[in-house]
Amino acid sequence: MIPLSWYLILAAALFSVGLFGVLARKNAIAILLGVELMLNAVNINLVAFWRYGSLASIAGQVFAIIVFAVAAAEVAVGLGLVISVYRRRNTVVADELDLMKW
């Protein structure tokens, strides 16, 4: 049997890798890829807590499905923004989009 701690440590590591990707990548699409990794880490935690907690309440799985919906919405709008910015400014590098930066 797998102890709960394995899942939690794996999710923590995946979350940290995703966080690094979000902070360090230049390309806006790569940043969104990092966000996906973080969302998946959260989902692993949710499902693991459901399985190791009380099975009577299915809250963990419902949350995971809501996270799926949030991820899809985030990707749809986020990538739409990236494409729109690319068509106007001809770049997807987050550092070059500094119009609002003083």
Which residues inside 16-75 make contact with other proteins, applying CB under 8 A?
16-21, 23-27, 29-30, 32-34, 36-37, 40, 43-44, 47-48, 50-53, 55, 57-59, 61-62, 64-66, 68-75
Residues 6 or more apart whose Cβ sits within 8 Å of residue 90:
none
Please select the residue that binds other proteins; options are 1, 99, 101, 102, rule is CB under 8 A: 1
- Residue 95: both structure tokens together: 């550092």
CA dist list (Å): 41 to 7, 10, 48, 60, 97: 9, 8, 11, 13, 29
Nearer to other proteins, 69 or 100 (CB): 69
Distance from C-alpha of 34 to C-alpha of 4, rounded to nearest angstrom: 25
x/- site string to other proteins, residues 75 to 94, per CB under 8 A? xxx-xxxxxx-xx----x-x
Q: What is the closest distance, in whole angstroms, from the C-beta atom of residue 38 to other proteins in the complex?
A: 10
Distance from C-alpha of 23 to C-alpha of 33, rounded to nearest angstrom: 11
Q: What is the closest distance, in whole angstroms, from the C-beta atom of residue 28 to other proteins in the complex?
A: 8
